[in-house]
């Protein structure tokens, strides 16, 4: 009996050993790396490198041993880690299309299921990202409305700090303040700092973020099926997000009760409108489930990183009081104590800007970026990366690269200052990542950091509690976590436009209002008429509102005379006799000619400008600048000790003239070409109107948010600019140093003219360059197609700074006119495509017939 038992025992043991060996072989076979795959520490059977830390400090050490491109395996999933400025730049900038997708992260996929913006891919991601960017352009990022919102929130934040008695933790005040900015954009309102319900949501979110960076939460990503049945922090994370989503559902319910599709107030309203539009396209993801996840994306994206960066900022200011003092000295010099900080102050505060950038560099809140995935088989650093491989870019290694920073381990604002103390941009400054998945909310974050940080240091001096030792050692939650976490997938949209209101909601409303006046003026005309002065007046009213603070009525004789004087000067400036003045100015100063008329016209225009400056001085309030003139007067006061900066009345008058002409001539002339082409090609006019009727209808005005849904109209406007080609030779430039171009030597000081017309008509770039063809800007599916050779605004450092303003004006004015009228030539008129050269290339004077639709 004992023998039989022993045999049975040995048989069972042998069976188990054999089974284990079989599993081991299967594990080795299934996890075998392809040829030339990045090296890394040897993984253990079944679990891989699960006991290897994935915090950024460990990754830095592994990079020193295995190189800037190495791999780790968690469970059966391989991840490639990329370190160092050179390799990270190659992955994100040189090969942006190779690493544009997101891998599945079980901890978050279980709950969010690849919806929203941050964790989605493919067609759904493109649609959701485009929608978020459009929404941010429409409602917030870079706009005057948003700047005012942050300034107001700064007051509430400072008041909350003042109300505290004794030492306190600033975390929830900062979280509340920053989240209120995104709340205003997403929900349409802010929350009081003592709103218990909202504070609870912030606490739940903060706890989820902290837990998601823990080692036990990372184990869930390696073995999700096993840990679904085990207790752990992932259960708390799921429970917290469930409660947060209930809160968000309540916000949606409130919005639906008083929702007006024709007047979206915020992101939720806009998404509800898009849900109705995209009912026939379920793959685009416009449904309630995606809305909830997108709201959570935006809510967390608009809170965690900026608030955590501000916490690092206060810590560094306490740690280095001498730096805090220098920032405060600059604040006192530039802003003082009588007004709030503004974004316009940034260029005059290089030290503060340098400190904020150094806070981001050394604070380094997202050290390993957000995990990406190879979209195709590719090569990186000489290694083969198969399609579908997860890739983590070690941003910390870039922000601490010894080849890029003089003292990477110390807090040194000098990293961002040149020898003259001017702010210095650095290519290796990548706190927002780069490439196709770059943080879309970079500009929003920059605004928040500057305005909140400056406001706090303007109002307070920060110091540690007595006896406290300040440690610069952080803790790993999402804000200091690795690429396995999804929280870095936040942030909004792209571009804050820089000059005098570009892209702002206030400006959009101004253009929409002016469009109504323009259409009313067209309707009032009886019979054929020349649209030139109506268009000039309408377009100039936009820049007038920004420069002078008000618009002019279309029948204001004084202003109409200024427009006539300017139009005459523009036409004469292009004449041959005027060009002779440029060649022989000393001779022609004593001879009659068109240059005399140009000078006389500009003298009258300058007198008009002087009147505007005089009116502004009568009721000027330095603490509340209303427009460009007010802001310039304020800068004149600040720069009295620096006459070389040119802040004086003479410069103001010329700058006003520059802005007035730049804000009128180019856009108005392009609009004239637009009406001309629509009369010349009525079938194209009809297709534009059909798209307007489909997307906008007749019950509301066009908005900038409509552009993404109107590819044909966008293509037509771009083709108008290409064929109209109003500045065919650009503006002359001058070589700033001896240089070589096309194999030829160009000495310093040589005038250089770039023939933009040759680019816009280059046969290698355009299928039918000599014909009006909107198809140049459409792909085979009828989607809008950007072209690199489309350079109507020039390019480089001297590119047209009003490009975004012009784009807004062209879209809104053009769409409004074709929404209201059908344009046709006068009976018997022959429309010639031959233009006339003045300072710009414009159509010859023509009359139009308008038929209301």
Residue 546's closest CA among 608, 502, 605? 502
For 67, list phi and psi in degrees, rounded to 5: 105, 170
- Compute the Cα dihedral for 331, 334, 339, 341 and give only its sign: negative
List the structure tokens of 185.
Answer: 């954009």
- Per-residue burial over 325-364, b = 16 or more CB atoms within 10 Å of its CB, e = otherwise: ebbbebbeebbeeebbbbbebbebbbbbbbbbbbbbbbbb
Label residue 444 by pLDDT band (50, 70, 90).
confident
- This prediction has a pTM of 0.52
Confidence of residue 8 (pLDDT cuts 50, 70, 90): low
- Other CB atoms within 10 A of residue 771 CB: 12
Tokens of 773: 């063809």
Q: Confidence class of residue 481 from pLDDT cuts 50, 70 and 90?
A: very low
* The pLDDT of residue 60: 82
Cβ atoms of residues 313 and 453 within 8 Å: yes
Residues 637 and 700 placed together within one structural domain of the fold: yes
Tens digits of per-residue pLDDT, 207-239?
A: 887 777 666 777 777 777 777 777 777 888 888
Three-state SS for 389-410 is CEEEECHHHHHCCCCCCCCCCC
CA atoms within 13 A on the CB side of 725: 23
Question: Could you tell me if residue 177 is inside a domain?
Answer: yes
Where does 381-485 have alpha helices with state H? 395-399, 442-459
Per mean pLDDT, which range of 69-73, 122-126, 251-255, 592-596 is the poorest? 122-126
**pLDDT confidence of residue 574:** 67
* Distance in angstroms (rounded) separating the CA atoms of residues 580 and 592: 12
Q: Residue 731: pLDDT band by 50, 70, 90 thresholds?
A: low
- Residue 220 and residue 207: Cα distance in Å, rounded? 17
Tell which of 400, 430, 459 closes a domain: 459
Helix (H) or strand (E) segment spanning residue 336: none
Question: pLDDT at position 85, please?
Answer: 83
Would you state the pLDDT for residue 15? 60
Query: What does the block give as tokens for 800?
Result: 């047209």
Q: Are residues 776 and 844 in the same domain?
A: yes
Which pLDDT does position 40 carry in this prediction?
Answer: 86
CA atoms of 183 and 251, how far apart (whole Å): 11
* Virtual torsion, Cα 439, 441, 443, 448, nearest 10 deg: -120
- CA distance readout (Å), 136 to 139, 511, 595: 5, 18, 47
Give the number of other Cβ atoms within 10 Å of residue 278's Cβ.
17
CA distance 281 to 274: 11
Cα–Cα distance measured from residue 780 to residue 383, given in angstroms and rounded to the nearest whole number: 36
356 and 231 co-located in one domain: yes
Cα distances (Å, whole numbers) of residue 572 to 581, 598, 728, 837: 12, 7, 17, 9
pLDDT tens for 689-705 read: 999 999 998 888 888 88
Extract the tokens encoding 276: 């109705």
Q: Is residue 479 part of a domain?
A: no
Quick count: other Cβ atoms within 10 Å of Cβ 263?
9
Summarised one tens digit per residue, pLDDT across range 406-416 is 998 899 999 99
Split at pLDDT 50, 70, 90, the class of 347 is: very high
Instruction: Among 421, 442, 459, give the residue marking a domain's end.
Output: 459
Looking at the structure, tell me whether residues 517 and 455 fall in a common domain: no
The mean-pLDDT minimum among 71-85, 126-140, 532-546, 754-768 falls in 126-140
Q: Look at residue 35 and tell me if it is in a domain.
A: no
In a domain, 39, yes or no: no
Pairing of strands 848-852, 821-825: antiparallel
What does the pLDDT average to over 471-500? 32
Structure tokens at 2: 């004992």
Last-in-domain residue among 459, 490, 518: 459
Q: Residue 661 has what pLDDT?
A: 74
**CA dihedral in degrees (776, 782, 788, 794; nearest 10)?**
70
Task: Rank 141-145, 198-202, 514-518, 795-799 by mean pLDDT and report only the highest.
Answer: 514-518
pLDDT at 358 over 90: yes
Task: Based on the fold, state whether residues 636 and 747 are members of the same structural domain.
Answer: yes
CA–CA gap between residue 664 and residue 208 (Å, rounded): 53
Contact by Cβ (8 Å): 766, 789: yes
Q: What is the DSSP letter of 258?
A: T
Cβ neighbour number for residue 216 with a 10 Å cutoff? 13
> Does residue 364 surpass a pLDDT of 90?
no
Which among 43-52, 162-171, 632-641, 768-777 has the top mean pLDDT? 768-777
Strands of the 69-74 sheet, one edge to the other: 69-74, 77-82, 390-393, 372-373
pLDDT at 307 over 70: yes
Domain of residue 519 covers 505-852
Both 639 and 783 in one domain: the answer is yes
Q: pLDDT higher for 375 or 217? A: 375
Q: Do residues 525 and 620 share a domain?
A: yes
Q: Which of 479-483, 697-701, 730-734 has the lowest mean pLDDT?
A: 479-483
Report angle CA 208, 213, 219 to the nearest 5 degrees: 105
pLDDT of 815: 94
What would you report as the CA-atom Rg of the chain, rounded to the nearest whole angstrom? 31
Q: Examine residue 466 and state whether it is found in any structural domain, yes or no.
A: no
84 Cβ neighbours under 8 A, 6+ residues apart: 63, 68, 394, 397, 398, 401
pLDDT of residue 485: 21
SS3 per-residue string spanning 739-751: EEECCEEECCCCE
Q: What is the pLDDT of residue 431?
A: 76
Among residues 383, 453, 561, the alpha carbon closest in space to that of 178 is found at 453
List beta partners, residue 812: none
Q: Kindly state whether residue 113 falls inside one of the protein's structural domains.
A: yes
Q: Is the pLDDT of residue 355 over 90?
A: yes
pLDDT for 713 beyond 60: yes
Rounded mean pLDDT, 386-395: 85
Please count the structural domains in the chain. Answer: 2
Answer whether residue 10 shows pLDDT above 60: no
**Residue 741 covered by a domain:** yes
Q: Name the DSSP letter for residue 826.
A: P
- Same domain? 641 vs 746: yes
The predicted-structure confidence for 69-110, as pLDDT tens digits, reads as follows 888 887 777 888 888 888 888 888 888 778 777 777 666 666
Kindly list the distances between the CA atom of residue 151 and the CA atoms of 167, 181, 314, in Å, as whole numbers in the listed order. 25, 10, 19
Reduced to 3 DSSP states, what percent helix, strand and coil does the chain have, rounded to the nearest 5? Answer: 55, 5, 40
Report if residue 161 sits inside a domain.
yes
pLDDT at res. 197? 85
Q: Tokens 């109300």: give the residue.
A: 163
Residues 6+ apart with CB under 8 A from 820: 519, 522, 523, 852, 853
What 3-state class would DSSP assign to 529? strand
**Higher-scoring residue by pLDDT: 142, 117:** 117
Nearest to 372 by CA among 103, 114, 59: 103
At 243, is the secondary structure helix, strand, or coil?
helix
By the 8 A CB rule, do 446 and 439 touch?
no
Among all chains, which residue has been given the structure tokens 């960017």?
A: 133
Q: Are residues 452 and 513 in the same domain?
A: no
Q: What is the DSSP code string of 778-823?
A: B-TTS-B---TT--TT--STTS-TTHHHHHHHHHHHHHHHHHHEEE
- In this structure, are residues 198 and 186 in contact, taking their beta carbons and an 8 Å threshold? no
- Whether 289 and 428 share a structural domain: yes
Q: What is the pLDDT of residues 797-853, one digit of tens each?
A: 555 656 777 788 889 999 999 999 999 988 888 877 877 766 567 788 889 999 888
- Using DSSP, state whether 500 is helix, strand or coil: coil
Instruction: Give the CATH number of the domain where residue 577 resides.
Output: 1.10.630.10
Residue 454 shares a structural domain with residue 520: no
Contacts of 294 (CB under 8 A, 6+ apart): 115, 116, 117, 128, 132, 271
Mean pLDDT, rounded, for 299-321: 86
Identify whether the C-beta of residue 765 lies closer than 8 Å to the C-beta of residue 727.
no
Residue 21 pLDDT:
78
Which one has a higher pLDDT value, 841 or 485?
A: 841
- Pair 222, 321 in one domain: yes
Both structure tokens of 699:
């019950």
Instruction: Return the bridge partners of 78, or none.
Output: 73
439 assigned binding-site residue: yes
With a cut of 90, say whether residue 349 has pLDDT above it. yes
How confident is the prediction for the chain on average, in pLDDT?
80
pLDDT digit string (tens) for 525-570?
888 888 888 888 888 888 787 777 788 887 888 888 888 888 788 7
């Amino acid at each position: 009996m004992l023998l039989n038992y022993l045999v049975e025992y040995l048989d069972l043991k042998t069976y188990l050993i054999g089974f284990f060996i079989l599993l081991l072989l299967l594990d080795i076979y299934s996890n075998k790396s392809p040829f030339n795959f990045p090296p890394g520490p040897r993984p253990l059977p079944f679990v891989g490198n699960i006991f290897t830390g994935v915090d950024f400090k460990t990754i830095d050490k592994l990079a020193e041993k295995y190189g800037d491109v190495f791999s780790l395996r968690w469970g059966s999933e391989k991840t490639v880690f990329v370190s160092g400025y050179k390799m990270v730049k190659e992955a994100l900038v040189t090969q942006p299309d190779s690493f544009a997708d997101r891998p599945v992260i079980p901890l978050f996929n279980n709950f969010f299921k690849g919806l929203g913006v941050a964790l989605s891919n493919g067609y759904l991601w493109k649609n959701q990202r485009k929608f978020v960017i459009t929404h941010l352009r429409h409602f917030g990022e870079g706009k005057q409305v948003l700047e005012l919102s942050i300034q107001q929130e700064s007051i509430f934040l400072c008041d909350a700090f003042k109300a505290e008695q004794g030492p306190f933790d600033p975390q929830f005040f900062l979280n509340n303040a920053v989240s209120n900015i995104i709340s205003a954009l997403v929900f349409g309102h802010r929350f009081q700092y003592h709103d218990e319900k909202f504070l609870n949501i912030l606490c739940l979110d903060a706890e989820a973020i902290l837990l998601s960076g823990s080692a036990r939460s990372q184990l869930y990503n390696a073995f999700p099926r096993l840990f679904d049945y085990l207790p752990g922090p992932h259960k708390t994370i799921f429970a917290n997000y469930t409660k947060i989503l209930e809160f968000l559902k309540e916000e949606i319910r409130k919005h639906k009760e008083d929702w007006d599709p024709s007047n979206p107030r915020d992101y939720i309203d806009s998404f509800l409108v898009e849900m109705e539009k995209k009912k026939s396209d379920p793959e685009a993801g416009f449904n309630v489930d995606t809305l909830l996840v997108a709201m959570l994306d935006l809510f967390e994206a608009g809170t965690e990183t900026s608030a955590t960066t501000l916490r690092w900022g206060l810590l560094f200011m306490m740690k280095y009081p001498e730096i805090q003092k220098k920032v405060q000295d600059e604040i006192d010099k530039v802003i003082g104590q009588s007004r709030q900080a503004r974004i316009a102050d940034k260029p005059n505060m290089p030290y503060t800007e340098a400190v904020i950038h150094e806070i981001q560099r050394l604070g380094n809140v997202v050290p390993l970026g957000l995990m990406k995935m190879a979209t195709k088989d590719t090569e990186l650093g000489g290694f083969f990366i198969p399609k579908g491989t997860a890739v983590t870019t070690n941003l910390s290694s870039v922000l601490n690269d010894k080849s890029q920073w003089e003292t990477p381990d110390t807090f040194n604002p000098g990293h961002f200052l040149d020898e003259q103390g001017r702010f210095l941009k650095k290519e290796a400054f990548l706190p927002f990542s780069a490439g196709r998945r770059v943080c879309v909310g970079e500009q929003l974050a920059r605004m928040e950091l500057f305005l909140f940080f400056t406001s706090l240091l303007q109002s307070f001096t920060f110091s540690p509690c007595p006896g406290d030792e300040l440690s610069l050692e952080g803790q790993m939650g999402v804000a200091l976590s690795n690429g396995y976490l999804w929280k870095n997938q936040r942030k909004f949209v792209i571009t804050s436009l820089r000059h005098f209101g570009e892209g702002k909601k206030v400006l959009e409303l101004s253009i929409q209002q002016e469009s109504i006046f323009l259409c009313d003026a067209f309707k009032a005309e009886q019979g054929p008429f020349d649209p030139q002065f109506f268009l000039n007046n309408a377009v100039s009213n936009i820049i007038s509102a920004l420069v002078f603070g008000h618009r002019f009525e279309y029948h204001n004789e004084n202003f109409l005379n200024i427009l006539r004087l300017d139009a005459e000067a523009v036409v004469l400036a292009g004449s041959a006799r005027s060009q002779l003045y440029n060649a022989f100015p000393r001779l022609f100063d004593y001879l009659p000619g068109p240059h005399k008329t140009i000078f006389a016209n500009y003298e009258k225009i300058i007198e008009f400008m002087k009147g505007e400056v005089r009116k502004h001085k009568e009721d000027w309030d330095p603490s509340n600048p209303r427009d460009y003139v007010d802001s310039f007067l304020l800068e004149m006061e600040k720069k009295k000790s620096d006459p070389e900066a040119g802040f004086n009345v003479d410069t103001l008058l010329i700058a006003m003239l520059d802005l007035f002409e730049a804000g009128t001539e180019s856009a108005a002339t392009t609009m004239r070409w637009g009406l001309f082409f629509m009369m010349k090609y009525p079938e194209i006019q009809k297709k534009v109107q059909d798209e307007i009727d489909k997307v906008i209808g007749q019950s509301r005005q066009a908005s900038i948010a409509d552009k993404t849904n109107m590819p044909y109209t966008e293509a037509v406007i771009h083709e108008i600019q290409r064929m109209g080609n109003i500045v065919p030779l650009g503006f002359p430039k001058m070589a700033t140093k001896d240089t070589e171009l096309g194999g030829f030597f160009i000495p310093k000081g040589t005038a250089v003219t770039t023939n933009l017309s040759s680019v816009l008509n280059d046969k290698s770039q355009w299928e039918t360059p000599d014909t009006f063809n909107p198809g140049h800007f459409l792909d085979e599916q009828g989607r809008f197609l950007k072209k690199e050779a489309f350079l109507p605004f020039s390019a480089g450092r001297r590119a047209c700074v009003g490009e975004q303003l012009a784009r807004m004006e062209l879209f809104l004015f053009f769409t409004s006119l074709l929404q209201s009228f059908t344009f046709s030539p006068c009976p018997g008129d022959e429309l010639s495509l031959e233009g006339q050269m003045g300072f710009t290339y414009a159509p010859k004077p023509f009359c139009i017939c308008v038929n209301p639709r």
